[in-house]
């Protein structure tokens, strides 16, 4: 289980770094500003255990819903991602007085902890995570 936790944590970190770098490009294009060609992405140390535990929870969920249609699975994953993001953000905020990600600047935030406009992102991310789970499983077995 430790190996799975580590692999999901690393995958989550990498995915978030790529996502934040690409979103910086999109933001620059929308603002008519030059693109930072260094493609700087970032994440937070807090995210490693969140992605690690989230991946393990995902595996359990996937075991029950793998026969569902892909759209139903995607909706469930989206709701699950929102729940994990909200809950962990709330806990971190209570423990530290701040939150690494603060969405209060966006229109569709809920308590600054989640962004409802990310629903399609979490939907697709969950379906991608099905493939990642197969890779994690094969890696840990060998």
Tens digits of residue pLDDT in 30-57: 999 999 999 999 999 999 999 999 999 9
Q: What is the mean pLDDT of the chain?
A: 94
Tokens of 74: 């995607």
Q: Which domain holds residue 87?
A: 2-141
Tokens of 76: 């469930």
Domain count, the chain: 1
How many other CB atoms are found less than 10 A from the CB of residue 131? 9
Query: What proportion of the chain, given as a percentage, has pLDDT over 90?
Result: 89
Contact 34, 27 (CB under 8 A): no
pLDDT of residue 61: 93
pLDDT of residue 105: 92
CA distance 136 to 127: 15
pTM for the model stands at 0.87
pLDDT of residue 89: 95
| pLDDT > 80? residue 19 | yes
């Amino acid at each position: 289980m430790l190996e799975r936790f580590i692999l999901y944590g690393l995958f989550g970190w990498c995915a978030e770094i790529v996502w934040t770098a690409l979103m910086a490009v999109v933001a620059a294009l929308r603002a008519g500003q030059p693109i930072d060609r260094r493609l700087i992405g970032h994440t937070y140390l807090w995210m490693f255990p969140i992605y690690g535990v989230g991946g393990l929870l995902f595996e359990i969920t996937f075991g029950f819903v793998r026969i569902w249609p892909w759209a139903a699975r995607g909706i469930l994953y989206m709701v699950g991602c929102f729940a994990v993001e909200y809950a962990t953000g709330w806990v971190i905020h209570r423990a530290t007085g701040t939150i690494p990600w603060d969405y209060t600047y966006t229109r569709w935030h809920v308590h600054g902890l989640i962004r409802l406009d990310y629903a399609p992102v979490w939907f697709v991310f969950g379906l991608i995570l099905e493939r990642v789970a197969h890779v994690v499983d094969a890696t840990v077995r060998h």
